[in-house]
Structure 1
Amino acid sequence: MHSPLLHMTNTPWLFSLQAIQHIEFSSNTYAKYAWNADDIYSFIVVIQGKGVLEYKDDKTSIDPGSVYIAAGPEDVEFSVRADSGAELALKLYKIDMQNMADKYRRHPEPGENAWEQHDVVNPNVSANVDSDAGPTLSTASIPMVKTFAYVPWSACLEYIEQLYRQQFSSDCYEKWDVQIRFQQWFRDMVRQNDAGLEVHNDRLSLQETVHYIDAHYDQMITVDELASRAGLSRASYTRHFKRSTGQLPLDYVNRVRLERSKQLLQVTADRLHEIASRVGFSNEYYFSRRFKQYTGVSPGVYRRNHRQEVRVFAPYLEDFLLALGIKPIIQGSHRAWGRQRYLQLDDVPEFDVSQLDAGFHAEHTPEFIMLDMGYKTWNLDRLEQVAPVYYVNHDGEDWRTILKATADILGRTNRVQDVIETYEHKVSRARRHLHDRLRKETVAFLRVSASEITLYGDECGYVGPIIYQDLGLRPHPYVQKWTRGKRGVSIGLEQLNQLDADHLLITFDTRNSCDFGEERRLLDRQEWKQLPAVRRGNVYEVDFMSWMNYGVLSHNKKIDDILRFMG
């Protein structure tokens, strides 16, 4: 007994990804999205909300947590309709793939069976096909909709989100990579739903308990009960559950409850103890404590931020606010570095983080404060006495997660997808252009102060993930050798002499300068003048604050600079 997908072709690696669409339905209107089968297999992956997949005289309910495949002859119309009574708007991905065997073999071989009526299954019943026949879409006479599990569900969504972003690349090799990654996702789903594999039984049992949690999160749930439903011992169930989801069972239960509570805080006026009870917490105190652990802010602050414009102070995180359309009430600055001029906040007053006793004027007192891990350096935890503080505990390289967290706590989640997609499109165009322009030429980035020269790496830091990973520029071999696993390393003049990169990007740090221009004295040294990039005029000075920063706006500025200098 094998997965129905294995019976669709004898050469599964010949499936080709055609397109991925991100489709959203308004939560307060009746809407549907329709398409013709046209010899295309279409996967429906529901992100949130509920809906109905309709075809011919039949229909299948669709919910988050499963993958639905729709296929049939050319004259069949499929449509997805949002459930107008659902609390959340329906959001989904529609993934089209083509059986390449069908493309070149439009008719069944002698002795090959076409789909027949017994191949159609009730969408509410687990589907298995016993026949050894190899049905293909070109011989289909009836439509088919089947449901498949994917565990963990979060991994499925991450896979699809990545494929969705990368599909827009016009680079041949990147397109190839997308097809390879799609095949990996497709293979994993087939294997998880192959009843002939013993591991599938455990995964299916786990998936059933995950669905149970999603449906009964507001009730008392114990690990023993979940293990019993899965037919496993408590220890075995816990081990398999964490391996599949990355979380312990009760942590997963609490995550579901807390995500639901965020929705209730946004759309209802219910009191906290009422929300706590509705999502399954025994008391308001425990709910509030878990909520703050999970989101970084209290339920009350979370609700207020979603209900009104909040006066925010986020020193050196203003980039994320502005990307989401939020203007800070006051901006961070430093006596040596100044403010982040690339953000063009000329009319916003400054707060000097380097003054350990700096305070706020009454008219510029924030209602909410965001701090990154640099708060310890500037003694900014004292600001907890001024307003609620959210501490960003993600590494700056993970700017997408920081952006999503900022949007969540400030009520701007509707902006995140557009911001990220716009950036990905820009990266794709720039990468293609620079690949044609630079070929195999090497690049290095230097931060120069009066006291040291810092060479930045290709794996992490402010610049490496952008210029080397996103844009695909080739790092000089010593960039990789000297900085492996580090954001940057200090180098001396002897090492600088070995840095014969074709192109040098450089920025100057004035923090340790006693005299004006002291940080630029390196440019007068013979060691500098002898570098190949200097002799050829391939040295480009960039703005310190925009390059020594994380955030989508600063990263966009980096791309603009590189295209201006090297494109």
Structure 2
Amino acid sequence: MKKQPDYSPVLRKLLRAARIKGDPAATTGNLPAQDPSVDMLLVVTKSQSSRWQGNTAYFTVLDTQSIDSLQSAGASLEGYLFLIEQENKPVKWSISLPAAASYIRLCEHVVDLSEANDPLLQFRGQIYFQELLYELYRIDRQAVHDARTAVEHTREYMESHYAEVMSVKSLAEMAGISPSYYLELFKKIVGRSPIEYLTSVRINAAKRLMEQTEAPAHQIAETVGYKDPFYFSRQFKQATGMSPSRYAERDRNRIAAFHYPMTGQMLALQNIPYAAPLDREFCLFYKHKYEQQIPVHLKDPSMENNMLFNLEALQAGRPDLIIAGDWLPEAGRGELERIAPTLYVPWWEKDWRQHLLIVAQFLGETVQAERWLTQYEIKAATIRSKLKERLRDSSILAIHILNGSIHRFGGRNLGAVLYGDLGLRLPDSQSAEPAYEILSIEQLIALNPDRLLVAIGSDPQARTLWQDLTQMPEWQYMTAVRNRQVQQIQPDPWFDYSAMGHERILRAVIKLFSLDRPS
């Protein structure tokens, strides 16, 4: 039987209720052999039968197989039998129950009142039965939540013990659930099988060792959990598009990411920049995780007075290659090209996917980029499906309050993820163009989105405008405000227009809309 229902709880009409105390044949003797319009709920409190476990509730169809199995359980079986009017489609699933809980008392009430002659008491019995169903659904939801938590723990275990021998069976035992259910739940939560995930963890660990040491491939293979270096090499090439030796050689190239988005593009290709700017608020993740691995720290290249500092830092660091945006003035381009061969990514002509492929071609890693994009599309499709179920047709507007003005995000930057990759809906009359435009307070209120995402700048004018806006009576009447669907977002990762940035935005969306919790 399935461990979990695949439909939403609904009201079910009780047709019959009975106790089973040591003689199931007597209880079921006058039941029809089969009725496709009736479901059966069996709540077992005690049993020595291999088919029916104690402290378990079973939902199943009323058929010959179920009745025969119940009648043959013998004197060891005790519990309650309920026949229910079928809704939608036949169901087959089971719920493990605590040894002592309110469901036993409810079962007693339902049986007693179903036998009453007074129609009002029978009606009360129907109400108790709905309470019983509620209790069973509640217990089941908690069990699913606990199982999810256990699966997350096994994922964390893989990440810290990847060199150990593991199997689906051993991981399922660790989670306390059956291997088949563990495999099903792990795929649902993570998006791939446990072994596929373990392989990715091991390969990523191998990449880190190649970046930080000069250890030979066979030694790295053994360190990350592979006894056969040839199998490790095949797995590594399948995951990265290149052999371990080619990857290690590539990592020795010193590549500078002159502008912020180029850092996210390089990291998506498993390339840690040799030089990069890390000083803006939307680079906090890169700063915290990669600061020690990036030898040359540049400053915000959008500030003219930082240009001299950056050029001197690059001259001293002597990178092999430089990747920059094509908005750099001609004078700056000449200076960069005197330091190292430089790629200029066409910023406005191309979108972030094309930016990634251009960078990948420059670095000889087109295969890795294509694989990364394929994985991204799979993740985005999964989240898009969950969002559609959770948000229905709600409209969403993302705004940025900066320097005393309100700016609306269109189809670029974070809008590329929200409205493009995830298919969320802008308020009526709004289009994805332009990418970023100023809105008046009156225009914002008139748009009246169902949900509102707000990024607030650190400047005093932004904070003042936000305070004034939230005090306006018109603001209080907006749908998003009344329904408490106004959520603040931070520059990191939402302002990072790169492959790595957008993958992190997907993760932020899961958290923002609680997609990892039952709806």
- TM-score interval, smaller chain: 0.3 to 0.5
What's the TM-score, normalizing by structure 2? 0.45
Higher helix share: 2
Bigger-Rg structure (1/2): 2
What's the TM-score, normalizing by structure 1? 0.41
